[in-house]
Structure 1
Amino acid sequence: MRHNLRHLRVFVAVAETGSVSRAGELRHVSQPAVTQAIARVERIAGQPLFERTTQGLFLNKAGEVLLTRVRRALEFLDPALVDISPRLQVTATTAQLQSLIAMREAENFTLAARRLDLAQATVHRAITQLEQEARRPLFERTAYGMIGTKAAQNLALAARLAFAELAQAEADLGEIRATEAGRIVIGAMPLSRAYALPQAIVRFRAAGRRLPIDVVEGTYDDLLAGLRRGEIDFLIGALREPAPIGDVDQRVLFHDTIVLVAGADHPLTTQQTISTADLARYPWVVAPKGAPIRGHFEAIFTQEGLAVPGQLVESRSLILMRELLNASDHLGCISRLQAEAEISHGLMNPLAYSLVDTERPIGLTLRKGWLPTAAQAEFLDMLGTGTD
């Protein structure tokens, strides 16, 4: 949101006390300043947030929604600010924290300024102001760029999560006005893009939802990092066992198995019985190291004391696998549901090789404690409905 952090802190004080004068005392500002701050917050929210009575100011439904999000944002932000300097709770601005985030990620003033569409001097001044308040450097100059200290990295992450909560508030407030705001950002692994996700998107649009849906592709590690920074709302795909880190939750939607596939003219497609030694003679298209399906692939050979084939193409691309299989004697190891459409259209052929113990959970990975908007919750419900 475009809110001023100091104004949001005043809003919280008024919400908790029901009094302009008491809020002013708590935040050490004048009553007119409190009134102006509340007016600004309501203007940005696009609706009144308080019922004004002779007994005081009381939150309406929109105010309660915003208060929930602001409190969650400050729960992320304040410990990281205090860790650097307690005064930053009072002095830190949205612009300064945005500059800190950009510098932490770009590690260069010029690139950070370009990312924010600001003058380099503006970003430099914002970082200097934070460092003056902290009374210590927040970035260290190295041969590789300006590297954030541990405290700066923690604050940048906390600020990202806080700003994500405030962005969620825009969508929450839009629901009250019966308008759509915000977007849904999904980290999608290969199976979900071919199977569960299209069905859910169709249902979502059929329900009349029009807000944008961003489908982000990438490696699992990159998607997980984006989730933990608040850039991605949730991941959908093969779950990791155990969960990769303690600040995420995993939710199973359904289970999938693995299938071995070949092109239409491959000699193994006509064999009724295929041995593991037969498989070992051919080159393969497989998922990269670290992917759950890769572990199942390697186990096919190691469980029988054979070496894993050395001629491997590592890729998550279904299209690349399909084209290699039909242009050569490569074999593929892939999710059965992901390959379902290709198999049904005769573009891939499943091999008559018995696989055991290849079932794997497919589902959602979410930030622990994440609070979805109404639209996000509706979409998650449709993912579950679409995969029963």
Structure 2
Amino acid sequence: MENAILGEVHNQMGIDGAGGNAHAGLHPGVKLRHIRAFLDIAAFGSITGAAQAQGVTQPALSRTLAELEALLATPLFRRDGRKLALTEAGALFRHHASLGVQAFEAAANALHPGRAEAVIRAGVLPTAATQLFPHVALRFHALRPDSTLAIITGPHSHLMQLLRRGRIDLMLGRMPDAGEMQDMSFEHLYDDDIVLVARAGHPAQAAGLSLAATLRRYPVILPPHGAIIRRPVEALLAAHDLSALRPAFETVALTVGCGIVVQSDAVWFISRGVVSGDLALGRMQVLATDAAYLSGAVGLTTRPGPAAASGVDLIRQITLEIVAAGLHR
């Protein structure tokens, strides 16, 4: 349906997909709504997801995109399976369009000094949500009592979409994939292990079972597809001829995963930072995985631009101090 609507509007407006009807500079018909629609579609990789986020219909957003492509006389997306992928021209346009929207936001904020700093929006992934970020939040409040720190949690893909669209000012957690880092900046803080945890006194340890035997005998909880740590865990399973293993559950949520583990013999692949508190209290234990190095970088991901810059910089300084003091573990 998306292709049909785009094609209809292309025909109506005369876009030929090869750069015809080109204009010098920006066509006067291009509006801010076109740019915001384009950036949201690029962030979600589909018109359907962007339309749901904007609260508009899919046909309406398809027409907005088709109008923009016609006005620019350049296709911005190509079909890649079930997703829309940016063309080379689309990627270039997103870079400059994103900076342009941020500049407009900065101009609006400049009319009301201090308003943009009243609320700092931080996206926090599970690996940093349990130990590290509570320290950051409390220190930030002590230094900025007149500011509100809005904390948004959720899966990695969701927070990256919010960050790219300017709906959050920073993301704290595992490093995004290289393909997601266009127009983004990542500052490494520390490495966090991926561990296999079980309840205290789990029978697998007493029996001296191998990793493969443990995973075949007991219910397994894996990170969901789309979680940053899913792929290294799958690589570990493949190395032990367990690629066909069917997990009983999939989650990286502390409350759900911990509740299942401590009440059963289930075992859970999860970032150490998520369960560090339960490990310290002795509610869980780490089982050997025979993996020499199963970890990933944790840090701050930000997008360029002046929005909430001083607040973001303060969070950065606080986070560095807390990590240096070892309070994140």
Q: Secondary structure at the match of 1:285?
A: strand
> What is the aligned-residue identity percentage?
22
1:350 alignment partner, SS class: strand
- Is 1:293 the counterpart of 2:214 in the alignment? no
Alignment of 1:115-134 (within 5 A): 115=55, 134=71
Could you say what secondary structure the match of 2:122 adopts?
strand
Does the alignment pair 1:257 with 2:193?
yes
Match of 1:163 among 101, 105, 111: 101
> What is the TM-score normalised by the length of structure 1?
0.58
Asked if 1 retains the 8 angstrom alpha-carbon contact of 2:122 and 2:149, the reply is yes
Give deviations 1:231-257, integer Å, cap 9, x for gaps: 332222111464644332321011111
2:279 maps to 1:347: no
CA distance in 2, matches of 1:199, 1:278: 39
Q: Residue 310 of structure 1: SS of its match in structure 2?
A: coil
Counterpart code for 2:264: S
SS at match of 2:190: strand
Pick from 118, 122, 145 the counterpart of residue 186 of structure 1.
Answer: 122
Task: Give the corresponding residue for 1:201.
Answer: 137
Given that 1:187 and 1:232 are in contact with CA atoms closer than 8 Å, whether structure 2 keeps it comes out as yes
Contact map agreement 2:38 2:65 (CA 8 A) in 1: yes
Structure 1: distance between partners of 2:167 and 2:283: 36
Equivalent of residue 211 in structure 2, options 268, 276, 297 = 276
Cα distance in 2 for residues equivalent to 1:129 and 1:291: 35
| Aligned 8 A contact 1:100 1:152 in 2 | no
Partner of 1:328: 264
TM-score by structure 2 length? 0.66
* Matching residue's letter, 2:267: L
Distance in 2 (alpha carbons) for counterparts of 1:103 and 1:238? 24
Task: Give the residue type in structure 2 aligned to 1:189.
Answer: L
For residues 156 and 258 of structure 1, do their structure 2 counterparts lie closer, same or farther at Cα, with a shift above 3 Å needed?
closer
8 A contact 2:131–2:273 mirrored in 1: yes
Q: Indicate the structure with greater helix content.
A: 1
Name which of 234, 238, 256 aligns with 1:302.
238
Q: Secondary structure at the match of 1:257?
A: strand
* Superposed CA offset, 1:38-87 (max 9, x none): xxxxxxxxxxxxxxxxxxxxxxxxxxxxxxxxxxxxxxxxxxxxx97457
**Aligned partners of 1:186 and 1:370: how far apart in 2?**
15
Matched with 2:292 is 356
Sort the Cα spacing of 1:378 and 1:329 in 2 relative to 1 into closer, same or farther, 3 A: same
- 1:236 to 2:172 alignment: yes
Distance, in Å, in 2 between the alignment partners of 1:101 and 1:314 is 31
The residue identity in structure 2 corresponding to 1:188 is: V
Q: C-alpha displacement at 1:375, in angstroms?
A: 1.6
Is contact 1:252–1:363 with CA below 8 Å preserved after alignment? yes
The answer to whether the 8 A contact 1:324-1:330 is kept is yes
Quick one: which amino acid aligns to residue 211 of structure 1? S
2:213 is matched by which residue type in structure 1?
A: D
Letter in 1 for 2:190: F
Unpaired segments ≥5 residues, structure 2: 1-20, 77-83, 325-329
**CA distance, structure 2, for counterparts of residue 222 and residue 386 of structure 1:** 26
Deviations 1:285-327 (A, max 9, x none): 1212354433333344433x43246231221211111111133
Count of matched residue pairs: 286
* Structure showing greater relative contact order (alpha-carbon pairs closer than 8 Å, 6 or more residues apart): 2
Question: Is 1:214 aligned with 2:154?
Answer: no
Give the C-alpha shift of residue 362 in structure 1. Answer: 0.7
Q: Partner of 1:387: helix, strand, or coil?
A: helix
In structure 2, give the amino acid aligned to 1:286: L
- Cα drift, residue 377 of structure 1: 1.0
Q: Report 1:117-156 matches (<5 A).
A: 134=71
2:66 and 2:229 map into 1 onto residues whose CA distance is 48
8 Å contact from structure 2 (residues 211, 288) kept in 1: no
CA contact (8 A) 2:155 2:227 kept: no
Q: Conserved in 1, the CA contact under 8 Å of 2:26 and 2:72? A: no
Q: Tell me how large the CA RMSD over aligned residues is.
A: 4.4
Using the TM superposition, give the Cα deviation of residue 262 of structure 1 relative to its aligned residue in structure 2, in angstroms. Answer: 1.2
In structure 1, distance between residues paired with 2:263 and 2:272: 21
* Residues 77-88 of structure 1 mapped to structure 2, 5 A cutoff: 85-86=23-24, 88=26
